[in-house]
Amino acid sequence: MKKLFWSALIVLSSIGVIAIIWRLSVGMKITALSSTVSWGMWVAFYIYFIGLSAGSFLFSTLIYVFGIHKLEKAGKMALISALFALLGGMLFVWMDLGHPWRFWRILTNWNYRSVLAWETLFYVFYITVVGLEIYHLMKFDFYNLAQKCSGWKKSIYNFLTLGFRVPDDPQQLEAMQHKTMKTVKLLGIIGIPIAIGVHGGTGALFAVVAAKPYWFGPIFPIIFIVSALVSGAALSTFLYAFFGEKDDKDYLDIVKALANYLVLFIGIDVLLMFSEFSVNLYAGLPDHSRVLHQILFGSYSYIFWVGQLFLGIILPIILIALKKNDPKWLGAAGLSAVIGIIAVRLNLVIPAYILPALKGLDKAYQDPRWSYFYFPSIGEWITTVGAIAIIITGFAVAWRFLPIFDHSNVTGLVGAGSTGGVEHGKR
Amino acid sequence: MSEKNETLVTPQEEVKDSRLGFLKKISSGVFASLLLPAVLKTKQIQAAEQDGVEISLPEQKDDEDVILRMMREIQRALAKPVEERHWAMVIDLRKCVGCRACTVSCIAENKLPPGVVYRPVMEEEIGTYPNVTRTYLPRPCLHCSKPPCTPVCPVRATYKRKDGIVVIDYEKCIGCRYCVTACPYGARSFDFGEFYTNNTPQIESYEMQADFEYGREWKRDGKKSPVNNARKCHFCLHRIEKGLLPQCVVTCIGRATYFGDVNDKESIISELIGRPNVMRLKEELGTEPNCYYLV
C-alpha cells in the first residue's frame, strides 16, 4: 500500500514536472483560456491552495495564540500543511503568468495601488512567519534528531537547526523552551493579520473588480476567509484522522474536536452563501442573478450541486453527525470537504466570465480565443494534476522526515508564554 | 478640362464634377495616410523619437474632407507639449453602417493575431419585423480618464499617459491578465501566440511580420512580447506621433469616427462632444471614457 502510494506520487509528479516544463516552453497556448475568459482552472487552484494554507495557519493560531491545549498535538501538522499549501498556491499562480520568468518584477516594480502586488508582498511575509514558526517549534527536535542520525540525514537536520544547540542543563532547557513558545505565540499573533490579509486579500483581488458584478462587493473577501477556515479545518481533520497518532490516548478527542470546528466553519460558510444567493436572486439584477442562475442551473451546475453542496456541506455534516465516534468516518468527512472546496473555488472564479462585458460583444468577433465558453484543456488538466502531485510529494517527504508528531520538547507549553511562569508548563 | 467645356457645363456634368472633386479630396486624404507610413519608416530611423513630423497637407479649403481637417488638428496638437494634448474619439452611430472596415484595418495595422481584437463592432437588432432596426457599436479602447485596468497591474506595466492614452509596456507586462479581467468594456485581449495559419502546411510569412506598436518594432517570435502579454487599442499612438490619424478613423467609410485633441477648442472633436446627443458607455462606473458616441 505504502509502496503503491509512493510510486503513484512519483510517477504523477514526474509527469507534473514534464508538463510544467512543456507549459513554460510553449506558453499560454496550451490553455483553453481566451481573451474573454482570462482566468481559469489554474487560478481556481491557486486560490484553493492559498485558502488551504491560510485556513491551516489560522487553525494553528487557535493553539499557539488562543491556547487551545486540546488540539496541540495537531499544531505542527497544521503549520506544515500551511507551508506546503502556500507553495502549491504559488506554483499555480506562477504557472498562470504569461511571462513566468518576470514574476520578480512584482517586487521590484511594485504597484501600491494593485491588490495583486499587495498580495505578493503578503505572501512573502506570510511564508517568513510560517517558516519561522515551524523552525522554532521544531528546532529542539531537529537538534536531537541530528544527534541520533548519521550521514546525509545528520547534515540535513544539522542544517535545519540553523546553528541552534540544545543546552545540557535541564533548567536552562526548560527556560529556553518557554522562551521559544513565547516567540511562537508572538509569531502567531503577527501571523493572524497576515494570514487574514493573505486570504481576505486574495478575495479582495476579485472583490474590487467592479467590471465583474458577481465578484464585486464587500462580502466576497469574507466568504474567502470563511471558506479558508473550512478547508483548513477539513484538511487537519482528514490528515490527523488518517495519518495522525492513532495510538495516542487523545487521538479520538483531537479528531472529534477538529471535526467540530469543521462543522462550525461550514455553518458560517452556509450562512454567507445563503445570503449571497438569496439576496442577489431576489433583487434579480441581471448582471448578478444571471451568473447565479448559471451556477445553479447552467451546464456546469453539477459543480455546485455535487461539489459545493453535497461534498462540501451535506456529506461532511451527515458523517460527523452520524459517526461521531469513528475517526475513520470523521476523517472521510474532512476529505469530502477538502474536495468540495475545490468546487467552491471553481465556482468563485469561472462563472464571472460567462456574461459579455457589453451586449453583443460575444458575437462581435469569432475566434476560439474570444470564446465565452471555457472547459480546461488537456494541458491544463495534466499540469494541474501534476502540480498537485508535486505538492503532495513534497508534503509527504516532509511528513516522513520532520518531527511532526514529536511531542518530547515543546508540546504542553501552550499558553505558558502568556504568564511566563515556569510552573504553568506542565509536562 | 478645357476652356470650352467649362463654359458649357450642364447640370449633370456639374454633379459629376463635384463627385469627382469629392473623390479627389477623399483620395488625397486616404492616400496621404496610406503612403506616409512607408515614407516615414525611413525617416523614423533618423528621428525615431521626434514628435510632430511635418506632413504636407493640401491647401485648406472650406469644404474639405473631415479627414484633412482632423490631420491639421493633429499637427496643431503635436506642436504643443505632450501634457497639453488630450486625445479623444467620437463615433457617430447614426453614420456607422457596420462594415467592420475599422476592425479589419486595425488588425492589419497592428498585425493582430487570432483572439486579439482592438475594435470589434457590436450589433443589435431592435424591434420585430416590419418595425425593425439594426444598430452597430464599434468599441475601441475608451481610454478612460479613470481607468479601472491600470491600478490593478502589479508591475505598473500599464498606465495612462499624459496625453490620455492608456498604454501597455510589453516588456514589463508579466501576463497575469488582471487588467483583462478588470476592464468593464472587454477592451483588453490576451495574445496567446496563435497564428491564423496554424495547422496548415506552413505559417504564412505575412503573419510573421513585425508590428510597430508604440513606435518600435515587435517581431513575432516564439514566446517573446507581445506574445503572452495583454494587448489593447492605443489609438494608434505610433501613427498619431507622426501626424497621422488612427487607422480606424482613416478607413471608416462613413466618416463615422472622429479623432482629435479635446484641449483644442477649435477641433471638430470638441464641437461634437458639445452636442446634446452625445453619450458614453457605462457612465455609472465612473470611468469617464474618452470615447464618445453620437446617437
Mean pLDDT, range A355-360, rounded to an integer:
92
| Beta carbons of A261 and A74 less than 8 angstroms apart | no
Closest CA to B195 of B207, B213, B210: B207
- Cβ separation A98–B177 shorter than 8 A: yes
What is the predicted pLDDT for the residue at B23? 55
Q: Among B91, B152, B285, which would you mutate to test the A interface (most chain A Cβ atoms within 10 Å of its Cβ)? A: B152
Q: Among A25, A33, A35, which would you mutate to test the B interface (most chain B Cβ atoms within 10 Å of its Cβ)? A: A35
Q: Å from B194 to nearest chain A CA?
A: 7
Domain-located, residue B130: yes
Q: Are strands B87-92 and B291-294 parallel, antiparallel or unpaired?
A: parallel
Sign (positive/negative) of CA torsion A12, A16, A17, A21?
positive
What is the predicted pLDDT for the residue at B6? 39
Instruction: Give the chain B residue whose CA is nearest to the CA of A24.
Output: B223
- For residue A115, list chain B residues with Cβ-Cβ distance below 8 A: 152
What is the predicted pLDDT for the residue at A375? 95
Q: Å from A137 to nearest chain B CA?
A: 35
- For residue A356, list chain B residues with Cβ-Cβ distance below 8 A: 186
| Per-residue pLDDT tens listing for chain B (295 residues) | 344 343 334 444 444 455 555 555 555 555 555 555 555 544 444 444 444 456 788 888 888 899 999 999 999 999 999 999 999 999 999 999 999 999 999 999 999 999 999 999 999 999 999 999 999 999 999 999 999 999 999 999 999 999 999 999 999 999 999 999 999 999 999 999 999 998 899 989 888 889 999 999 999 888 888 999 999 999 999 999 999 999 999 999 999 999 999 999 999 999 999 999 999 999 999 999 999 999 9
Q: Confidence class of residue A417 from pLDDT cuts 50, 70 and 90? A: very low
Q: What is the domain range of residue A415? A: 28-424
- For residue A35, list chain B residues with Cβ-Cβ distance below 8 A: 115-117, 180, 188-190
| Beta carbons of B169 and B229 less than 8 angstroms apart | no
Q: Residue A160 corresponds to which cell in the numbers above?
A: 535545519
- Cβ separation A208–B189 shorter than 8 A: no
Nearest to B123 among A111, A113, A363 (CB): A363
Q: Å from A99 to nearest chain B CA?
A: 5
Range of lowest pLDDT (A169-183, A257-271, A406-420): A406-420
> What's the CA gap between A89 and A387, in Å, rounded?
10
> What's the CA gap between B264 and B164, in Å, rounded?
14
- What integer best gives the mean pLDDT of chain A? 91
The ipTM of this complex is: 0.90
> What's the CA gap between A53 and A64, in Å, rounded?
16
Q: Å from A203 to nearest chain B CA?
A: 14
Q: What's the one-letter identity of residue B202?
A: Q
Residue A318 at interface with chain B, using a CB cutoff of 8 Å: no
Q: Among A99, A118, A206, A215, which would you mutate to test the B interface (most chain B Cβ atoms within 10 Å of its Cβ)? A: A99
DSSP one-letter string for A189-215: HHHHHHHHHHHHHHHHHHHT-TT-TTT
Mean pLDDT, range A248-264, rounded to an integer:
92
- For residue A96, list chain B residues with Cβ-Cβ distance below 8 A: 176
**Which of A406-425 are b and which e, b meaning 16 or more Cβ less than 10 Å from the residue's Cβ?**
bbebbbbbbbbbeeeeeeeb
Domain-located, residue B222: yes
What is the count of structural domains for chain A? 1
Closest CA to B257 of B93, B42, B87, B115: B93
> What's the CA gap between B294 and B277, in Å, rounded?
6
Residue A382 at interface with chain B, using a CB cutoff of 8 Å: no
What are the φ/ψ torsions at residue A377 (nearest 5 degrees)?
-75, 170
Nearest to A111 among B156, B222, B230 (CB): B156
- Cβ separation A209–B122 shorter than 8 A: no
- Cβ separation B194–A369 shorter than 8 A: yes
Q: Å from A331 to nearest chain B CA?
A: 37
More confident residue, A425 or A3: A3
Q: Among B93, B100, B107, B223, which would you mutate to test the A interface (most chain A Cβ atoms within 10 Å of its Cβ)? A: B223
Nearest to B148 among A26, A115, A211 (CB): A211
Segment A286-331, tens digit of pLDDT: 989 999 999 999 999 999 999 999 999 999 999 999 988 899 999 9
Nearest to A120 among B121, B139, B154 (CB): B154
Domain-located, residue A7: no
> What's the CA gap between A330 and B25, in Å, rounded?
82
Domain-located, residue A16: no
What is the predicted pLDDT for the residue at A148? 87
What is the predicted pLDDT for the residue at A330? 95
Nearest to A38 among B180, B222, B228 (CB): B180
**In angstroms, how far is CA B109 from the centroid of its own chain?**
10
Domain-located, residue B58: yes
- For residue A366, list chain B residues with Cβ-Cβ distance below 8 A: none
Q: Residue A387 corresponds to which cell in the numbers above?
A: 502540480
What is the predicted pLDDT for the residue at A418? 42
**What's chain B's Rg over C-alpha atoms?**
21
Domain-located, residue A22: no
- Cβ separation A99–B192 shorter than 8 A: no
Q: Å from A87 to nearest chain B CA?
A: 18
Instruction: Give the chain B residue whose CA is nearest to the CA of A113.
Output: B151
Range of lowest pLDDT (A127-131, A144-148, B161-165): A144-148
What is the predicted pLDDT for the residue at B1? 38
Q: Residue A318 corresponds to which cell in the numbers above?
A: 451527515
Domain of A315: which CATH number? 1.20.1630.10
- Cβ separation B174–A99 shorter than 8 A: yes
Beta bridge partners, B132, equal B127
What is the count of structural domains for chain B? 1
- Cβ separation A106–B155 shorter than 8 A: yes
Segment A171-197, tens digit of pLDDT: 888 888 888 889 999 999 999 999 889
- Cβ separation B177–A208 shorter than 8 A: no
Q: Which of residues 109-138 of A touch B (CB under 8 A)?
A: 109-111, 113-117, 120
- For residue B176, list chain A residues with Cβ-Cβ distance below 8 A: 96-98, 116
Domain-located, residue A93: yes
Domain-located, residue A178: yes
**C-alpha distances in angstroms, A156 versus A6, A10, A145, A152, A402?**
22, 22, 10, 6, 11
* Helix (H/G/I), strand (E/B), else coil: B226: coil
Domain-located, residue B250: yes
Residue A97 at interface with chain B, using a CB cutoff of 8 Å: yes
Domain-located, residue B6: no
> What's the CA gap between B183 and B186, in Å, rounded?
6
- Cβ separation B172–A363 shorter than 8 A: no
- Cβ separation B181–A27 shorter than 8 A: no
Q: What is the domain range of residue B249? A: 15-294
- For residue B220, list chain A residues with Cβ-Cβ distance below 8 A: none
- Cβ separation B190–A34 shorter than 8 A: yes
